[in-house]
């Protein structure tokens, strides 16, 4: 069974640029932050809320990586 990720890798014949990687990471961090906010709202002070806050924290880390990658590209 071929997953979507491996399918993308198989059809790509070039190495992604820093800008492409940064763009994909930015989209990932936005999705992580959106989902984290929803989880925090629905979970409140319970375990789901804590997982949402953790996901928000991780989204910030990914966003920091994006800024660093963009800085390297300049």
pLDDT digits 0-9 by tens, 19-70:
899 999 999 999 999 999 999 999 999 999 999 999 999 999 999 999 999 8
Q: Which domain holds residue 56?
A: 16-73
Number of compact structural domains in the chain: 1
Q: Give the up-direction half-sphere exposure of residue 62: CA atoms within 13 A in the CB hemisphere.
A: 19
Please indicate, yes or no, if residue 1 is contained in any of the structural domains: no
Please indicate, yes or no, if residue 7 is contained in any of the structural domains: no
Collapsing DSSP states into helix, strand and coil, what is residue 1? coil
Stated pTM of the model: 0.73
pLDDT at 71: 86
Please indicate, yes or no, if residue 10 is contained in any of the structural domains: no
The string of DSSP codes covering 8-46 is: HHHH--SPPPHHHHHHHHHHHHHHHHHHHHHHHHHHTTS
- How many other CB atoms are there within 10 angstroms of residue 8's CB atom? 9
CB 39 within 8 A of CB 48: yes
Please indicate, yes or no, if residue 36 is contained in any of the structural domains: yes
């Amino acid at each position: 069974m071929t997953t979507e990720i491996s399918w993308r890798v198989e059809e790509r014949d070039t190495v992604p640029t820093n800008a492409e990687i940064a763009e994909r990471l930015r989209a990932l961090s936005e999705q992580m932050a959106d989902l984290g906010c929803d989880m925090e709202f629905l979970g409140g002070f319970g375990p789901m809320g804590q997982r949402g806050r953790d996901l928000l924290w991780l989204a910030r880390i990914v966003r920091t990586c994006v800024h660093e990658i963009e800085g390297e590209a300049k």
